[in-house]
């Protein structure tokens, strides 16, 4: 039995958008800052990002990767293991940041404030941003 929705075609997504380059650059920057941070700072940053999420939100982002940090007893306090934080991929953090940007943009401002309070994270991020900029400029420089 067919229904009226069988006729709807899926829109084609350009390759650059399929790779996750839609929306604002904020989630990408959040993922890079998270990757540049040390594990103790990552724990604080993760708490900040997960604060606006409920259990369903945590389970629905990045294939449930963040549900492991929920308290198994049902409390609101997150249970964050340093080893598990170290295993998070940039892609998973990017997806979390995209979701948080939609749910509570204020949490991203708190994230930025936390990250900027760590001189090591800022220095590491600045150095990696400089390398990325240099590579980008090298690739677009006209031949001599």
| Of residues 51, 36, 35, the one with CA closest to residue 87 | 35
Tokens coding 11? 């829109």
Confidence of residue 10 (pLDDT cuts 50, 70, 90): very low
Could you read off the pLDDT of 16-71 as tens digits, one per residue?
A: 444 445 567 888 888 988 888 888 889 999 999 999 988 888 888 998 889 888 87
Q: For residue 46, give Cα distances in angstroms to 89, 91, 121.
A: 13, 14, 14
Position 88 scores a pLDDT of 93
Q: pTM of the predicted model, to two decimals? A: 0.68
Could you read off the pLDDT of 69-117 as tens digits, one per residue?
A: 887 777 677 888 888 888 999 999 999 999 999 999 889 888 888 877 7
Please answer whether residues 77 and 71 qualify as being in contact, where contact means their C-beta atoms are separated by less than 8 angstroms: yes
Q: Cα(110)–Cα(114) distance, rounded to whole angstroms?
A: 6
Position 59 scores a pLDDT of 86
Q: For residue 116, give Cα distances in angstroms to 18, 95, 134, 139.
A: 31, 21, 23, 30
């Amino acid at each position: 039995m067919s229904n009226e929705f069988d006729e709807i075609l899926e829109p084609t997504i350009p390759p650059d958008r399929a790779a996750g380059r839609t929306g604002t650059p904020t989630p990408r920057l959040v993922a890079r800052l998270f990757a540049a941070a040390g594990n103790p700072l990552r724990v604080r940053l993760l708490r900040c990002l997960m604060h606006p999420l409920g259990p369903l939100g945590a389970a629905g982002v990045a294939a449930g990767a963040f549900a492991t940090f929920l308290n198994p007893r049902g409390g609101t306090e997150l249970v964050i293991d340093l080893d598990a934080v170290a295993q998070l991929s940039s892609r998973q953090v990017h997806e979390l940041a995209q979701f948080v940007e939609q749910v509570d943009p204020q949490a991203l401002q708190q994230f930025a404030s936390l990250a900027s309070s760590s001189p090591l994270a800022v220095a590491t991020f600045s150095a990696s941003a400089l390398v990325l900029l240099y590579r980008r400029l090298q690739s677009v420089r006209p031949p001599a």
